[in-house]
Chains A and B, each alone.
Chain A
Amino acid sequence: MIDADLKPPPVLHPGQSLESVTNQITGLVMPRPIQRTWIIGFGIGSVLIMVLGYSVCWLISQGVGVWGINMPVAWGFAIVNFVWWIGIGHAGTFISAMLLLMRQDWRTSINRFAEAMTLFAVACAGMFPLLHLGRPWVFYWLIPYPNTMKLWPQFRSPLVWDVFAVGTYLTVSLIFWYVGLIPDFATMRDRAKTKPAWLIYGCLSLGWRGASRHWKRYQTAYLLLAGLAAPLVISVHSVVGMDFAAALVPGWHSTIFPPYFVAGAILSGFAMVLTLAIPLRAIYKLQNLVTLRHIDNCAKLMLITALIVSYGYGMELLAGWYSGNPFDSFVSQNRMFGPYAWSWWTIMTCNVMVPQFLWFRSIRRSVPTMFFICILIQIGMWTERFVIVITSLHREFMPSGWGAYEPTRFDWSTLLGTMGFFLAGFFLFIRFIPMISMSEVRELVHTSNGGRHEPTDFEPKYVD
């Protein structure tokens, strides 16, 4: 007995047919329209990749001293950026795996590019721990490989756990993304006009013919992968949180870090999804597929995670005061009133105050406002990592070891460069790969158009 007014609005605009969906989505790739927005976007990305290349070459030739790190702040932008990018990489797998398992049908319109976003974000993130090494050319010592000296990594170190967590996450996200793409690659193959396209998409589709048996096995595999990927969403940022929590640095040494990091990651991830989705649906006229319902749902998730994150901030302050530990209480005071107070107040504004607007339906459904809020949250989440890394390190136990941190232009250029890498990668993705999952959207169209089965909340949709 659900009140008609409270029923959620439809996921897709009415009037979609299977053919129109396929035509619309393949049309973004196949006839290859020359678009000025794409060229500009890809151009900016490529220029920034060159900035990245220059920064990395200079870094490797000179040493990590080109960055602003010092003693005591031995970790700087590299780690801040790493945690930030990894966090962004959370939303994709969360949308694909978690929401799939939770039977959220609205995910189908956004999961493909969210997953792509994840892959590029994790790739950006993965660069930083390697670049930040004093001797990056021996990074493979972090990996347990058999060697003549019988030396293994030191498994008590959270950095080793990081290697596994990030590595696994990247691998599983990639497989999951690719498996989801197989039916769409087959569609692309079937619509290919040129031989090279036919060959490439043909190879990528792994001989998919759309047989019922194919669909059955495909869906089982997809579900299993989702089951595998879902815990990784939790684990990867928990491990990143443990990089800090396992140390004894005041401001790091806190049990709340893993859940608080995961919530923060999902917050920044959804902010990034919307930051990408809002321009995409405008440029590629996808308002019929990526609807206000999607934006609304993402905003709600952001509100929830922002509340968890705010709880985390509150708990840190409480622990600092309640523990009676002079070092912990000093950290809280120093964050609020010390030399980097601006950063703490920035996160309070961006991550605690701003998300409160999301309580309002009108704001959740106002596209420009949402875009603006998402940008603020991205900034807030980056600053949060800055606060955690920098303000904790710069004033620790021994006042004689206190210092200050000032990023150099290479810190900034490397951050910008990875943004370019992300941007360029993403533009290549939307150029060559259907950015919305055709097979799943078609299924959604099928069910919402009153196919064989009425969609209910309780019936499994993918078991035929």
Chain B
Amino acid sequence: MPQDRLVNNTLPLSEIRHRLAAADGPTYWRSLQELSCTDEFRQSIADEFPALGERFNDSTSRREVLKIMAASLALLGITGCFYKHPQEKIVPYVKTPDQTIPGLPLYFATAMPMNGYGIGVLALSREGRPLKIEGNPDHPASLGAANAFMQASILDLYDPDRSRTVQRSGRTATWSNLLGILNPRLQTKLTNGSGLRLLTGTITSPTLLSQIQQFLQRYPGSQCHQYDPLHTPDGELPKNIFTTPLDTLHDFTKADVILTIGSDFLTTHPASLRYARQFIDGRRVRQDHLKMNRLYVIESAMTLTGSMADHRLAIAPSDFQLHTARLGHMLGIGGDVVPESRSVPSLSVQKQHWLDTVAADLTSAATSLIIAGADQPPSVHAMVHRINQRLNNIGRSVYHIDSVAPSAQHSLKDLVTDMQDGNVDTLLILGGNPAYDAPIDIPFASMLQNLSTQRRGRDYQNLTIHLGTHANETAWNCQWHIPQSHYLESWGDIRAHDGTASIIQPLIAPLFASKSEWELMETLLDHPDRDGIESIRNHWAKSVTSDFETWWLQTLQRGTIDGTSAPLRKDLTLRPDLPGFSFSDETPHPENAEIIFAPDPTAWTGEYANNAWLQELPKPFTKLTWDNAIAINVRMAENLGGSARPLVDGHIVRVDYQGRSLEAPVVILPGQADGVIAMTLGYGRTHGGTVLTDDGAPRGYNAYQLRTSARPWVDVGARVTFTGRIVPLAITRNHHAMDTAPGMNSIEQSLKPQNIAQPGISEENLELHNRKIVRTATLEQFQQNQNVIQNLDIASRKPLLSLYQPWNYDHGLQWGMSIDQTACIGCNACIVACQAENNIPVVGKEQVMRQREMHWIRIDNYFSGPVDSPSVYHQPVPCMHCENAPCEYVCPVGATTHSDEGLNEMTYNRCIGTRYCSNNCPYKVRRFNFFLYSDYDSNTRRLQHNPDVSVRSRGVMEKCTYCVQRIDNTRIEMEKQVLDLREQARLALEPADQKRLLLAADERGRQIIAGLQTACQQSCPTQAIVFGDLRDPQSQVARLKREPADYGLLTDLTTKPRTTYLARFTNPHPDLAPGTLA
């Protein structure tokens, strides 16, 4: 170790003393340097192995180096610097923090920022380690649910690729090094701040906004620029159709008929979790509740919202204005908006009929709601607003608030113009990755590099600083890079879509020497040592009138700040200068395809690209992992490859658009509008981690390379040609799951099984050919005959014979699960929740291609109907926990057995890996560790493992356990409390008291069991998964299993599954054919 360096640096002895005093128990340390854990100490370690730095650039040996580094860091004791409680007092959600009981989890309410908006979470902490994210039921944007990104954010915290130290030009530096450069520069800006620029993403944080205000005042002439890859050009932002910027919010519980015009409100909206819950709450059909809303969807690509539609109209993006105008016309709006004089292109008969029916349905419905996608032009939004007004929806299902995220005063484009003109000399980038995700016509990356490398003599002329969690593309183009704290290790505040503010409280002290954006702003405001908590408290202390400490505690406990939701606005005036409709009557085709850009369902805009859970998460419909692809429909696949040899998944096409071109593989997605290519953002990244590249090469293609600032969402005029090449894609679904699949020859076609059973299929056909895996009926059919679902399974009406006496499950707790297919929107949250809860490893692209993915729950898609206009069904499939489990009797060593509570259990220690159980599982839900998939190496990721769940080694089988660790914890808690009450009853003198206490004991036990949730159930936005005790007739799961729409998969095999399904109900309009109209 370079001692001289350490000796030369003064150790913060007073701080060390303070830390030792503050520690709860005995603290062991080897040297003062270690204890101080200063930047210098960290740097000395980095300097200790200079050779590692070089080898790190070699992609082949990187993995090895990571292992060495993990080992050497552990040896040096830097792990001791990892994970400890934040020094400040943090407040758990419900339980008091005074005495943490080892082994018992604590929940802390905080909020996860996503594109600037906050979603409330309850983060679970075990012995100081945040382990699991759940939704905060008290938060308006979560309602207790958590999406896949929230679930996966825990892995980001422990990502070994995170930046660990301040870096200067890619070399390790220290915070004080940076301050030595930054502070003199800021001093010069106090009088004239022009040239000083701040670049941020979307900001809703009240504290951060006020800090930025102070910054702009402190350095007169400085500017703050905003860029967010999800932003629509400012002039076209939906909120700007009004005279003052207003956000439009929706209440789906108040709508019988819903029409979305290009809005994927179930997944991409900041309030999607809330909207999904509300939307599905209006669709839960039960035997005593025969009512559901009706959803019409007009969209181009296939989205999860579209898959839930009762009627879906797939049109090209350029047709949206025409269809919206038509619809407005039919509802009696027009006049100034659609001038009669203009020749409006006519629609096909079917489409006209579709719109007529929708218009009539909207008019006749008691309540309705029309929502337009954020990427739609102002003309569409204005028309949608008018229609909502006409239908009297404003104030009922649609309401408006002042825009939560203030509009940026300066854009990225302005910044680049100024950079080109030489007006910028100091640039601070607060998070984000604009060098990667900026529109291609704004040369930000090259300008940034230019700015960073300009020299005056020996010194750099300009100063560029990037704050980010990873050394990403932007960091590589900046001089300085500061590690950014994860939201679970920093203090902050943030607003939700409706304005509700939350305090972000950390669960853990920063793992590395990182700064939050709030702390960095304090540094710029000349408070370099001010902690994040101080800024936040200072900000809120100004506005709190009651006792601040009480307010602070309550706020932290609840997770939301009272009275911060934005007030409703009634004065809605459309801007008079809104652009009108423009129609095109060109038919799209490969020579003139329409191009759609959308955030990727797993990598999002690129910020989650280094998250292995999300990379391995099968994308909805395509089930593609570790890559992105261009989605095209079957007709385009035939046009491009010839109808004899249509393109198949993985064929590479070339897209020429506005003088730029890009090559990328395609996936064939039935149901997408014709002549449309759907590209997703977030891939093709080059810097910032080992997961986002594939041995150094970017994963997927970078759609930003075609995306322009003028048309960031949709455009016409793309030319698609087939290159003749093919690339293997890691797709977890088999094409044959589709009832109709393209690219199959006639023999293969005849081999496709029928999986969807619905009324109208002849009995013989049902019996002989249909696997009856998805059962569906319309609401009308169910209203007429509640047995309509049961009638689909003739075999199940016969008694199932068995040679053996049935096992008696008539005692104790009996676990079961019910999955409502009407409610499942296919959002994948359950998969990642399960992965986080149960220490499920990722296996990598190559292993996924070998069909060895490990997810314990999967979401199957079944398509039915014509290949151009299919209906889609989502079916989550966990272990069925069969009472007669076929896996159990074939295991030669008894490693999988049945518990008396009805659980099909896996004893990993006993498993020798014959895999016979998996062969004999008709549902194919068992997963095998073909290699050592679990990560035992990286010392940070290890911290994430749930201590209640075994980390499986190589050669053993695993599968869904119904979260047995949660069951056990709950049962223990229940028994403790029930025993306590029983003991009180025993000691009670009065018989009446005894009786009362005994009843109370039973009731208490029932309540505790009713509160038990599996991980998938807890995160499900739509509460499609219900788990509980089947023997308690009052339990939710028992009630659902009594529903006439309840059915089990493959029950004629006498498996008696404990997981059963509720049939998918749809509510089609009687005058329209169900499914998609393309």
Binding site for B on A (CB under 8 A): 62-65, 68-72, 74-75, 132-136, 138-139, 141-142, 151-154, 156-160, 163, 246-249, 324, 326-327, 329-330, 333-334, 337-338, 393, 395-404
Contacts and interface: CB of A to CB of B under 8 A. Distances in A.
B841 to A, nearest CB: 13
Most buried by A among B769, B862, B927, B930: B930
Given A65-B931, A151-B910, A403-B734, A246 B890 contact: yes
Contacts of B649: none
Query: Which 10 pairs show the lowest CB-CB distances between chains A and B?
Result: A134-B913, A134-B955, A401-B924, A65-B930, A74-B915, A400-B860, A159-B892, A154-B894, A70-B851, A135-B955
Contacts of A399: 734, 736-737, 752-753, 755, 771, 773, 862
Interface residues of B, number: 61
B922 A397 contact: yes
Main secondary structure of the interface of A (DSSP, over half): loop
B919 A134 contact: no
B886 to A, nearest CB: 5
Nearest to B843: A65
Contacts of B926: 71
B131 to A, nearest CB: 28
A65 B847 contact: yes
Interface string B920-951: 10111011111110000000000000000000
5 contacts: A65-B931, A72-B851, A74-B918, A326-B771, A400-B737
B534 interface: no
Nearest to B889: A156
Interface in B766-781: 767-771, 773
A64 B930 contact: yes
Contacts of B801: none
Given A70-B850, A153-B894, A246-B890, 6 more contacts: A63-B929, A64-B930, A65-B852, A65-B931, A134-B911, A135-B956
Contacts of A338: 748, 751
Contact of B912 (A70, A138, A326): A138
Contacts of A249: 919-920
A395 B753 CA distance: 10
Given A63-B931, A64-B913, A75-B915, A400 B893 contact: no
Contacts of B185: none
Contacts of A393: 919
A157 B913 contact: no
Contacts of B1050: 397-398
A159 B930 contact: no
A214 B932 CA distance: 59
A154 B893 contact: yes
B922 A248 contact: yes
B430 interface: no
B557 to A, nearest CB: 43
Given A134-B915, A141-B893, A398-B877, A69 B930 contact: yes
A134 B733 contact: no
B75 interface: no
B808 interface: no
Interface of B: 733-734, 736-737, 747-748, 750-753, 755, 767-771, 773, 847, 850-852, 858, 860-862, 875, 877, 886, 889-894, 910-916, 918-920, 922-924, 926-932, 954-957, 1049-1050, 1053
B624 to A, nearest CB: 15
B913 A135 contact: yes
Given A133-B913, A398-B924, A154 B892 contact: yes
Contacts of A400: 733-734, 737, 858, 860-862, 875, 877, 924
B892 A248 contact: no
Contacts of A74: 915-916, 918-919, 928
B726 to A, nearest CB: 16
Contacts of A139: 912
A329 B754 CA distance: 13
A336 B626 CA distance: 35
B891 A133 contact: no
Nearest to B773: A398
A132 B931 CA distance: 13
A326 B919 contact: no
Contacts, number: 178
Contacts of A326: 753, 767-771
Contacts of B877: 398, 400
A333 B769 CA distance: 13
Contacts of B920: 247-249
Nearest to A244: B919
Contacts of B862: 399-400
Nearest to B917: A74
B852 to A, nearest CB: 5
B769 A248 contact: no
Given A337-B747, A399-B734, A159 B956 contact: no
Contacts of A72: 851, 918-919, 924
A62 to B, nearest CB: 6
Contacts of A134: 911-915, 928-930, 954-957
A403 to B, nearest CB: 5
A202 to B, nearest CB: 43
Contacts of B747: 337
A186 to B, nearest CB: 43
B562 to A, nearest CB: 47
Contacts of A64: 913, 930, 955
A63 B955 contact: yes
A62 B931 contact: yes
Nearest to A403: B851
B892 A142 contact: yes
Nearest to A74: B915
A69 B918 CA distance: 12
A152 B910 CA distance: 11
A129 to B, nearest CB: 8
A342 to B, nearest CB: 13
A371 B6 CA distance: 82
Contacts of A151: 893-894, 910
Contacts of B736: 395, 399, 402
A332 to B, nearest CB: 11
Contacts of A157: 889-892, 916
Nearest to B918: A74
Nearest to B1050: A397
A141 B910 contact: yes
Contacts of A71: 851-852, 918, 924, 926-928
Contacts of A69: 915, 930
Contacts of B923: 397-398, 401
A18 B41 CA distance: 92
A151 B909 CA distance: 12
A396 B915 contact: no
Contacts of B930: 63-65, 69-70, 134
A158 B770 CA distance: 31
Given A248-B920, A397-B771, A133 B914 contact: yes
A247 to B, nearest CB: 5
Contacts of B954: 63, 134-135
Contacts of B928: 71, 74, 134
A160 B889 CA distance: 11
Contacts of A138: 912
B94 to A, nearest CB: 39
Contacts of B852: 65, 70-71
Contacts of B918: 71-72, 74
B751 A330 contact: yes
A87 B851 CA distance: 31
Contacts of A160: 892
Contacts of B847: 65
Given A75-B915, A400-B877, A248 B1053 contact: yes
Most buried by B among A134, A152, A402: A134
A163 B916 CA distance: 15
Contacts of A153: 892-894
Contacts of B910: 141, 151
